[in-house]
Every structure is written in structure tokens, then in C-alpha cells.
Structure 1
Amino acid sequence: MSTSTFDSYRPPEQARPRRERRGGNRRRAGRGGAEGNNEMSMVPDVEFTSYYGRPVVKPAPWGDDVAAYLFLGGVAGGSGLLAFGGQLTGLPTLRRNARLGALAAVVVGGAALVRDLGRPERFLNMLRTFKVTSPMSVGSWILSAFGTGIGVASAAEVDRMTGERLPLGPLRPLLRAVEGPAGVEAAVFAGPLAAYTAVLLSDTATPTWNAAKDELPFVFVSSAALAAGGLAMITTPVTQTGPARVLAVIGVAGDIIGVRTMERRMDPVVAEPLRQGRPGALLAWSERLTVLGGLGAAIGGRNRLVAVLSGGALLTASALTRFAFLHAGIASAKDPRYTIEPQKRRLAARQAAGVTDDAITTAS
């Protein structure tokens, strides 16, 4: 018998049942005889998992750098939208702090993304083309467009903060002229920036991410809203945080409803990684902090101490949500059970409904 290095992956073989013999002679039943119907099966029952127990889906090679980018991208998008609200309502401190917060989130989040990519030119390489069917390509352009708009608007804020001491020379009037349109441009791309990372995750074969494809963008946008509101509640006096508190409360409600709806609609097996192990602990703490931060914003947001504590809780909750979803998806890809069992249930349901001619997998 030949051997191979792959033999170590084989599961142990079960002993085959021996057929009973009497008098040293094998008894054969005639056609239609009773003995033939009572023969034991020579092949043991096998519960299929995957090829040698290996993962069916290759796990995404992403770590905490990507999770940090998911969180900071949401903070940037929500803050850009909040800055536009401050621009429209005449709240200069809120507008300034939201713009600077969005810029800081874009810079730090972009650094985390480049660190995960390994080389900065890999990000620039994605800007060579625009492929509407690729969430990563579209997201790269969204991030670049948002960063440009919020960067120009933030430069104007910094120039005012320093008493117009930036060495702009004749460019200062131009900066003042484009500040407003830049804020509008950043607001236009704020929502897509907060949502595209959810599309990026769910547009994969990773079981948990793909099963949440309908609700995950809603969850991520809600999480971005409560995080941006929380950041503004920390950095801005309570006299100008009215829009931030409203945005935070809306985000809290959307996050709670979105997560509950998503889990109810998902296959129960695929939803397991969201409630087990490290991802389950992160998501549980995220939900607790979301409720506490939302109550603080709604009830005691006019108190400076309560506003700061509530804002910190909301920021932490948003970060934990992104880390939980990233690691839950990776865990679901590593275990073939989360790929195979839902597929087998869907196949059985389609066959039971009489659908047997729409695909190879449903043909019987």
C-alpha cells in the first residue's frame, strides 16, 4: 500500500462490520429471499463535513488593522455629515470639531489600511481604474474624494484657529471660497464612506458576512452615526451639541434594530459566531455600551460630564461592533460547518418545494 504525506490528514477509518458466517460457508439468499433483505451494510454511515476537515472558504487575511479602519471610516463619515449640519445651522464650534475629527479619523484609518496592505503604492494602484462591480475599487475612490473635501474644509478651520497665520499668501481667498463647497462635497461622500465597508465584507463568500448582506450596511451606518455623535459630545460644548445628540440617539436606535433584525433573518448556524467566543463577548459589550450611551445622550446630554461619558461609551461601542463582525466572519470561514450545513438545508428546502431544475445542485 502506497503512503503519502497527506495521509496524516485522513480521519481514522472505522472497522467494517463482518458478515456472519455459519458452518464456515457464506450463506447466499436467493432472489427475493428473506436473508438478502437482512444483510448488514458494508459501508458505515458518514456525516460529510469537508475535504479532510479543511476549510471550504479561505479566511480573509485581515487583522485588527482592518477592524480599526472599519471603525475609523465610520467615524469619519458620520463626522463629515455632522460637520455639514453644523455648517447649515450656524454652529461654528460643532462644525470645526466635526471637520477636524473626520480628518483625523481619515488619516489614522488610512494609515491602518496602508499598514495592512504592506506598501502604500498598493492603495494608489487601486486608483488606476474605477470598477463599479468592485466594492474595494469604489471604496478607494469614495475614501479619496471624502478625504479631499474634508481636508480642504479642515485647512480653512486650522487657518482660522491660528489667526490666519498659515503661509497661504494669495491662496487664502481661494481657500475661503472653496471651503463651503468642500464641506458639501465631504457630506455627499460621508454616507457612502460609512456604508461601503459593509458591502466590502458581505460581497465575499465568508458565511457570516454574506448571510448579513441585507442588514450589515444599515448596521454599519447606524454605528457610524452614534460614533460621530459620541465624538462630538466629547469635543464640543453642550450648548452646540444638540445635532450631535440627535444623531447619536438615531444611531443607537438604528444599531439595536439593525442587529436584532439581522440575527433574526440569518441562518441560526451562520449567526453562531456572532455570539460565541471573542466576537460574542465584543458584541455583547457593544450592545451594553450602546444602550448606556444612548440613554446618556437622550436624558443627560446637556450635562458636560454625562455628555463626555456617554460619548466615550458610544465610541467604544462602535469600535467593538466592527471588531466583533470582522472576527466573527473570519471564524465562520475557518469552520466548514458554517458553509456546509446552511447549504444542505437550503438544498433540502428547495427539493422539498419541488425545485429540481434550476441548478446542478438541486437536480436529483
Structure 2
Amino acid sequence: MSRSLGRVAAGDTGREQRSPGEEDFRSYYGRRVLKEPVWEWLVPAYLFAGGLSAACAELAAGADLTRRPRLRKAARLGALGGLATSMYFLIADLGRPERFHHMLRVAKPSSPMSVGTWILVAYGPGVGVAAAAELLPARLRRRWPGKLIGALARPAGLASAAVAPGVASYTAVLLSHTAVPAWNEARDRLPFVFTGSAAAAGGGFGMVCTPVDEAEPARKLAAVGAVTELVTSRQLDERLGVVSEAYRTGKAHRLRQWSEYLTAGGALGSLLAGRSRAAAVTSGLALLAGSALQRFGIFEAGVQSTKDPKYVVVPQRRRVDRGEQA
């Protein structure tokens, strides 16, 4: 954008439009530079469900190796349920189910969408086999098909757990590779927020669905994930320059503030729940709600950041001033 076109009238006075605290911000008559995303609530719901599934897969693998059958069963079923729910939201947002199939025609390493699609393809079958082993009736487990599924359950679960970190974080990479300022400027931090949020949700799910005598790994995962989410989420409010305003104001701020309250409360509860089943369930639900609100808050911040041209223009000018390639 040239400097002559960058000048905007404040009313009809011909003066440049400036806001307090901004460094030499100018836009063309205050008009938007970007169109806001056309995505609806299905997308943040998809982000949450996919992260929950990935964390449950990790939790299930750990429970399997440490011989915690009830936690293993709950986590395996949670991984399958989260995956199925996320795929439903994704396909519903695409509008036509065959569009997901069409993405399998090519593998494009430079495209986060293509890489993410293949990550889901590698992740899904193992989750399905591990969950099927938990759902088989006892009489079928002694027959040939049931024995085969039972034998494949552990390697399938471990294989899915190996891919799960990619499932939890690729959506953050997908968002940050768009032109939306609040997502693009947070590209170095967003994967950590998403991964921590997913771990908190998975731990919370394990706390809700598992008796307290087997839920210790879930409580630990929840605490670590919650701390990671809280620390890295706060960086979005403080270290993105002018773009941080999109996270600190409006609906995005309210959603993320409630997310912070619930996540912090759930993390504290996971450490203090002890043998109390009621405290564990309450803390787990708080962690799940906090993780969901985090995704919706980040989504809302991205939408809002496209409505004000300063979130596009100011970072671009700073990159030019530093000699960076736009």
C-alpha cells in the first residue's frame, strides 16, 4: 500500500487517522483490508473435539502400559468419540462430505490442510481398533475375530498415540497459515496453546469418567496441560504487539477470561481432589469447559482482527521497517 493511498481523512478534515498508542497507523479511509472468515461455530467445535480425542489417545496408551483397565477403556472410547465428533463438525462445515475424500487425492507437504488430512488418516484406524476391543462382548473376545482385535488393540493404540500430538497441534498450524492477523501473528505460540488445552481437556475427561483410584495419570495430565495452556495463552495477550488487542477486547476476551478461570480452577481441583469423586468430576468438567472456551475465544479473536485494518497494516509496516520479507 503506497503512502499516498495510506492517508485517510479523519472526517473531512484531511488529517491522518491515529489512535493512542499506535505507531504511525494509516489505512485507506478506514476500510477493511481482509474479509472476515466465513467459518461458523462448527470450526472451533471441531478444533476442541479433535484436541480432546488426541489427548485421550495419549492417556489411553499410558493407561494400557500401566495396567489401568478402567482408565484405558474410558480414554479409548473418549478418543473415538472425540474423533467422530470432530469429523462430523469438519464435514458439516465443508458442506459436502465428498470434499474430505477429495483432499486425499494428493499429499502436499506445503499445505497444512493436506498434511492435517493425512495425519487424521494415520490416526483414525488405530483409535477405532483400540475402541472396538473395549466394546467387544466377553463371548466374542474368545472367538477368532475378537482374539485378533484384542491382539491388535495395544499396537493400534500405541500407533495412534504416536500420531496424537500432530492431531492436537496441526489445527493451530492450519489457522496460523491464514492471513487472519490474530492467528498469523500468533503462529509461534498457538500450537502450544492448543496442545496444552487438549491435554487439559483429556485429563479432565479421564477424571470425569474414571474412578479416583485409577485416575492419577489423568489428574497429572490435566495439571500439566492446564499450566501450559494458561502460560502460553497469556502470551497471546501480551506479546503480539497491537494484534494482542484482539485477544484482550470484546467477546474474545470474555470467552478467554472464563476459560482461564475454569482452567485454573480445574487444575487446582485436580491437585486437591484426592479421593473425592465429586471434586474430581467437578474439576474435570471445569477443564473441559475451559478448553472449549479457549478455542472459541481464539476463533472469535481471529474474526475480530479482520474487521480493523490496523491489525493488518501495523504489523506489515513493522516488518518492512525491520527489512523482513512480507
Fold-level similarity (TM above 0.5): yes
Give the corresponding residue for 2:12.
14
Instruction: Kindly indicate whether the alpha-carbon contact (under 8 Å) linking 2:237 and 2:248 is maintained by their aligned counterparts in 1.
Output: no
Give the corresponding residue for 1:292.
265
Give the corresponding residue for 1:246.
220
Give the corresponding residue for 1:91.
68
Alignment of 1:158-237 (within 5 A): 158-159=135-136, 162-165=137-140, 170-237=144-211
Give the corresponding residue for 1:138.
115
- Work out the CA distance in 2 between the residues paired with 1:222 and 1:301: 23
The secondary structure found in structure 1 opposite 2:213 is helix
- Work out the CA distance in 2 between the residues paired with 1:59 and 1:13: 25
Instruction: Kindly indicate whether the alpha-carbon contact (under 8 Å) linking 1:245 and 1:301 is maintained by their aligned counterparts in 2.
Output: no
- Which whole-Å deviations, capped at 9, do the CAs of 1:239-276 have from their partners, x for residues lacking one? 10010000001011111111123433211x20111121
Alignment of 1:311-322 (within 5 A): 311-322=284-295
- Work out the CA distance in 2 between the residues paired with 1:77 and 1:54: 41
1:150, distance to aligned residue in structure 2 (A): 0.4
Q: Which of residues 259, 264, 269 in structure 1 aligns to 2:233?
A: 259
- 1:45 correspondence with 2:22: no
Superposed structure 1 runs of 4+ greater than 4 Å apart: 10-13
Letter in 1 for 2:223: V
1:236, distance to aligned residue in structure 2 (A): 0.4
1:235, distance to aligned residue in structure 2 (A): 0.4
Give the corresponding residue for 2:276.
303
Q: Which moved more, 1:205-214 or 1:56-65?
A: 56-65
- Work out the CA distance in 1 between the residues paired with 2:128 and 2:12: 66
Q: Which of residues 30, 34, 55 in structure 2 aligns to 1:78?
A: 55
- Work out the CA distance in 2 between the residues paired with 1:164 and 1:58: 58
- 1:327 correspondence with 2:279: no
The number of residues matched between the two structures is: 312
The secondary structure found in structure 2 opposite 1:127 is helix
- Work out the CA distance in 1 between the residues paired with 2:10 and 2:75: 61
Letter in 1 for 2:259: S
Letter in 2 for 1:279: A
The secondary structure found in structure 1 opposite 2:70 is helix
Under a length normalisation based on structure 2, what TM-score does the superposition of the two structures give? 0.90
- Work out the CA distance in 2 between the residues paired with 1:287 and 1:258: 11
5+ unaligned residues in a row in structure 1: which ranges? Answer: 1-9, 16-43
Under a length normalisation based on structure 1, what TM-score does the superposition of the two structures give? 0.81
- Work out the CA distance in 1 between the residues paired with 2:143 and 2:56: 29
1:49, distance to aligned residue in structure 2 (A): 4.4
- Work out the CA distance in 2 between the residues paired with 1:334 and 1:119: 29
The secondary structure found in structure 1 opposite 2:243 is coil
RMSD: 2.1
Task: Provide closer, same or farther for how the CA distance between residues 50 and 164 of structure 1 changes in structure 2, counting only shifts above 3 A.
Answer: farther
What percentage of aligned pairs have identical amino acids? 47
- Work out the CA distance in 2 between the residues paired with 1:187 and 1:164: 28
- Work out the CA distance in 1 between the residues paired with 2:189 and 2:11: 44
Instruction: Kindly indicate whether the alpha-carbon contact (under 8 Å) linking 2:10 and 2:16 is maintained by their aligned counterparts in 1.
Output: no
- Work out the CA distance in 2 between the residues paired with 1:164 and 1:151: 20
- Which whole-Å deviations, capped at 9, do the CAs of 1:273-294 have from their partners, x for residues lacking one? 1121111100000000111000
Give the corresponding residue for 2:46.
69
